Amino acid sequence: MKLSNGFSIGQFVPGESFVHSLDPRCKITALFILLAIPFAAEKPLDFIPAVFCLYVISAASHIRFTKLLRSGRPVLFLIAFTAALNLFWTPGHEVARLGPLRITSEGVTLAFCMSLRIYCLVMMAAALMVTTSPMDFAGGAERLMSPMAVVKFPVSEIAMMMTIALRFIPTLFEESERIMKAQISRGADFESGGLVKRARAYIPILAPLFIQVFTRADCLATAMESRCYVPGAQRTKLNPLIWTSRDTAAMACVVASVVCSLVWNRYIYRLAALLCQGSLF
Amino acid sequence: MEQSPVFFIQGAGYSYKGASVSAIESVNLSVTSGEWVALLGTNGSGKSTLAKMMNALLPPMRGVCFAMGMDTSAPELAASIRQNVALVFQNPDDQIVASIVEEDVAFGPENLGLPSEAIRARVERALQLTGLSEMRRRGSYSLSGGQKQRLALAGALAMEPKALILDESTSMLDPEGRASFLNCLRELNTRGITIIQITHRMEEVVHASRVVIMEAGKVAWDGSPDSFWEEKCAEFGFDTPQELELLRSLRAGGFVPAGTKPVVNDLLEALCL
């Protein structure tokens, strides 16, 4: 039984691609701009630009599209839950009935769009994390948040916390797997029984995992202190962030993509309707 | 001219909060530059507490502890002490901060506020010394146990310390990883770096120029490796490494000259193999 499956959301994959080489500030800002595409999408066809953008990002970052697709696995439960809520509780024209629950055509569209929206958000976030080292990500976030330091917001401490949290994701997965294997060797069963039984089987993992996490945090704090880390103190960088013309070009492409997708959303259904009527030509 | 000690500890004591007994008590120790001190003792004998005190992580509650002539109880000197005295812990996973090898090595120099070029030069030197240059862009999570420990050592070396304290840093390594790590330490020691090595493995003690044994928070014995092997090894219940047994047999037969260390490579060299 394996928790991480060799790839988890937030795990950086080193590389030399175009996207890898971009300034983290550019990538973080681009992510927030690109999020406008799935948020603006209201009908299934509106998601085509978002999927196209994700495909272009995966090609430009040399990360397989299927790998990005897999990054959505951890939120499948959330997606299923949201889809169910929208499917059964959206008022409108009834198309089917499941016992006391009504399924409406509006509900089907909304559930589909909401699921796709969440999946696109997760994939876009994964594309950022896979191509940006936690240190670079924290550096970029720190610079973007730097105006908040004026109001005494602990920008550098937050950035360091993000770095460490991201660095320890694979370690915590390994730790959980080790504890699970130790429990399995002592007769624990995580794979049979219903949902409640399985959930209960995970409880004995949580106590040792929490203890390990706190022990690790204590050791790491000591190790960081011994390497002269002082919270809030001015630090320099091995690779200082430099905004280049390729970052400007990438940002321009992102803005153009968002504008194109909004135009697409506005005209695609009119175009589709015209095609269906055969009156386009 | 007498050399000033790298570490000067006199009457040092430390008790953890809520503990009924002191972790260390009345410790006297003086270590000079270039020494390789093997710090031995059972679990709970105070070795790690002493190591943390030498790195200014724990201030002495009683007595004094000076590192490179600086008082470790003075908080304003802590950063200077830690620049000169690096500490490598037992588990590399607990001390690797960054996800990329070179970024982790750069963590210490970045904290010192050095310019990027100086950080790059230090990272380069540390990676070369530890044989990790080829892996500089790899993810730290993808390294083997031995490579991770060498990364932890590289992170310490990037501070360009004059003394290195190793707190059971080889205990999680396989024999091959340990041999490579020890070779690296020998190289550093020949460059004049003082090494304090906390260990339970007697085959590592053969590299040391001095042995200190701790017992119940106190220095129970302090002397040369030769007198340790002859007089104290068995008395304190430590095993005798096979290399030493072999050296003794070869010495008895007059096959190796005096001064040969009980290290495999030295024995092979002495036997002209």
Beta-ladder partners of B61? none
- Residue A240: closest CA among chain B residues belongs to which residue? B116
pLDDT tens digits, A153-186: 898 889 888 888 888 887 888 888 888 898 888 8
For an interface test with B, the pick among A168, A212, A227 (most B C-beta atoms closer than 10 Å) comes out as A227
Q: Sorting pLDDT into bands at 50, 70 and 90, what band is A279?
A: low
Contact state of A170 with B141 under an 8 Å Cβ cutoff: yes
Contact state of B79 with A228 under an 8 Å Cβ cutoff: yes
Whether B151 and B229 map to the same domain: the answer is: yes
Residue B2 resides in a domain: no
Whole-prediction pTM value?
A: 0.80
Q: Tokens standing for B195?
A: 């090494």
Contact state of A164 with B106 under an 8 Å Cβ cutoff: no
Residue B178 resides in a domain: yes
- For residue B100, the 8-state DSSP code is B
Contact state of B123 with A238 under an 8 Å Cβ cutoff: yes
* pLDDT greater than 80 at residue B121: yes
pLDDT tens digits, A122-143: 999 999 999 998 888 888 998 9
* pLDDT greater than 90 at residue B181: no
For B82-99, give the DSSP string: HHHEEEE-S-GGGT--SS
Cβ–Cβ under 8 Å, residues A85 and A107: no
Q: Which residue has the tokens 């002539």?
A: B69
Q: Distance between CA atoms of B252 and B215, rounded to whole angstroms?
A: 33
For an interface test with A, the pick among B72, B107, B117 (most A C-beta atoms closer than 10 Å) comes out as B107
Residue B146 resides in a domain: yes
pLDDT tens digits, B135-149: 998 888 888 888 999
- Residue B52: closest CA among chain A residues belongs to which residue? A226
The predicted structure's pLDDT at residue A270:
78
* pLDDT greater than 90 at residue A3: no
CA angle (B210 as vertex; B196, B190 as ends), nearest 5 = 65
Residues of A with Cβ-Cβ distance to B95 under 8 angstroms: 219-220, 223
Residue B181 resides in a domain: yes
Q: Which residue range(s) make up the domain with B252?
A: 241-273
pLDDT tens digits, B242-271: 878 888 888 888 888 777 777 777 777 777
Q: Distance between CA atoms of A14 and B156, rounded to whole angstroms?
A: 24
* pLDDT greater than 70 at residue B72: yes
Any residues with CB less than 8 A from the CB of B109 and at least 6 apart, and which? A236, A238, B118, B119, B122, B123, B158, B159
Residues of B with Cβ-Cβ distance to A171 under 8 angstroms: 93, 141
Whether B65 and B199 map to the same domain: the answer is: yes
Any residues with CB less than 8 A from the CB of A73 and at least 6 apart, and which? A5
The predicted structure's pLDDT at residue A5:
44
Rg, chain A, Cα only: 23
Of the listed ranges A5-9, A56-60, A152-156, B105-109, the least confidently predicted one is A5-9
- Residue A166: closest CA among chain B residues belongs to which residue? B99
Mean pLDDT of A253-262: 94
- Residue B124: closest CA among chain A residues belongs to which residue? A238
Contact state of B82 with A228 under an 8 Å Cβ cutoff: yes
Distances (CA, A) of B48 to A102, B4, B32, B213, B214: 67, 24, 20, 13, 11
CB-closest option in B107, B114, B139 to A227: B107
CB-neighbour burial class of residue A241 (10 A; exposed 0-12, middle 13-18, buried 19+): middle
Whether B145 and B35 map to the same domain: the answer is: yes
In 3D space, the residue among B212, B272, B207, B209 whose CA is nearest the CA of residue B243 turns out to be B207
For A8-70, give the DSSP string: -TT------SHHHHS-HHHHHHHHHHHTHHHHH--SGGGGHHHHHHHHHHHHHTT--HHHHHH
Whether B223 and B170 map to the same domain: the answer is: yes
Q: Tell me, what's the ipTM?
A: 0.85
Contact state of A133 with B91 under an 8 Å Cβ cutoff: no
In chain A, domain spans:
1-132+259-281, 134-226
pLDDT tens digits, B122-176: 999 999 988 899 999 888 888 888 899 999 999 999 999 999 999 998 887 788 8
Q: Which residue has the tokens 């909060």?
A: B17
CB-closest option in A14, A219, A220 to B139: A14
Query: Where do runs of H (alpha helix) occur along chain A?
Result: 18-21, 24-34, 36-40, 48-60, 65-70, 76-89, 105-131, 134-145, 155-185, 195-201, 203-226, 245-277
Q: How far is B110 from chain A (nearest CA, A)?
A: 5
Residues of B with Cβ-Cβ distance to A166 under 8 angstroms: 99
Task: Provide the domain count of chain B.
Answer: 2
The predicted structure's pLDDT at residue A6:
45
For an interface test with B, the pick among A132, A228, A239 (most B C-beta atoms closer than 10 Å) comes out as A228
Q: Distance between CA atoms of A35 and A37, rounded to whole angstroms?
A: 5
Q: Tokens standing for B57?
A: 């992580």
* pLDDT greater than 50 at residue B86: yes
Q: Sorting pLDDT into bands at 50, 70 and 90, what band is A10?
A: low
Query: Where do runs of H (alpha helix) occur along chain B?
Result: 47-54, 78-84, 101-111, 116-130, 145-157, 175-190, 202-205, 225-227, 242-252, 264-270
- For residue B61, the 8-state DSSP code is S
Q: How far is B10 from chain A (nearest CA, A)?
A: 22
What is the percent of chain B where pLDDT is above 70?
Answer: 99
CA angle (B34 as vertex; B166, B170 as ends), nearest 5 = 20
Contacts 24+ apart (CB under 8 A), B73-82: B79/A228, B79/A230, B81/B55, B81/B56, B82/A225, B82/A226, B82/A227, B82/A228, B82/B55, B82/B56, B82/B159
Q: Sorting pLDDT into bands at 50, 70 and 90, what band is A116?
A: very high
Q: Strand B194-198 relative to strand B163-167: parallel, antiparallel, unpaired? A: parallel
CB-closest option in B57, B95, B106 to A238: B106
The predicted structure's pLDDT at residue B116:
95
Contact state of B97 with A216 under an 8 Å Cβ cutoff: no
Q: Tokens standing for A214?
A: 């706190």
CB-closest option in B99, B107, B159 to A12: B99
* pLDDT averaged over every residue in chain B: 90
Residue B249 resides in a domain: yes
In 3D space, the residue among A114, A142, A122 whose CA is nearest the CA of residue A35 turns out to be A122
CB-closest option in A170, A219, A233 to B89: A219
For an interface test with A, the pick among B97, B138, B143 (most A C-beta atoms closer than 10 Å) comes out as B97
Residue B143 resides in a domain: yes
pLDDT tens digits, A199-246: 888 888 888 888 988 998 899 999 999 999 998 888 899 989 999 999
Mean pLDDT of B89-95: 88
The predicted structure's pLDDT at residue A221:
92
Domain CATH code at residue B142: 3.40.50.300
pLDDT tens digits, A97-110: 888 888 898 999 99
Residues of A with Cβ-Cβ distance to B86 under 8 angstroms: 226-227
Cβ–Cβ under 8 Å, residues A257 and A37: yes
CA angle (B36 as vertex; B32, B40 as ends), nearest 5 = 110
Number of CB atoms found within 10 A of residue B122's CB: 22
Q: Distance between CA atoms of A176 and B104, rounded to whole angstroms?
A: 24
Whether B250 and B117 map to the same domain: the answer is: no
* pLDDT greater than 70 at residue A8: no
Distances (CA, A) of B116 to A273, B81, B110: 59, 22, 8
- Sign for the CA dihedral angle at A118, A121, A124, A128 comes to negative
Q: Distance between CA atoms of B112 and A236, rounded to whole angstroms?
A: 8
Q: Which residue has the tokens 């803005």?
A: A255
- For residue B226, the 8-state DSSP code is H
Q: Sorting pLDDT into bands at 50, 70 and 90, what band is A190?
A: confident
Q: Which residue has the tokens 């330091």?
A: A149
- For residue B158, the 8-state DSSP code is T
Residue B1 resides in a domain: no
Mean pLDDT of A3-32: 80
Cβ–Cβ under 8 Å, residues B87 and B37: no
Contact state of B99 with A166 under an 8 Å Cβ cutoff: yes
Whether B209 and B252 map to the same domain: the answer is: no
pLDDT tens digits, A41-89: 988 888 999 999 999 999 999 999 998 898 888 889 999 999 999 988 8
Contact state of A228 with B137 under an 8 Å Cβ cutoff: no
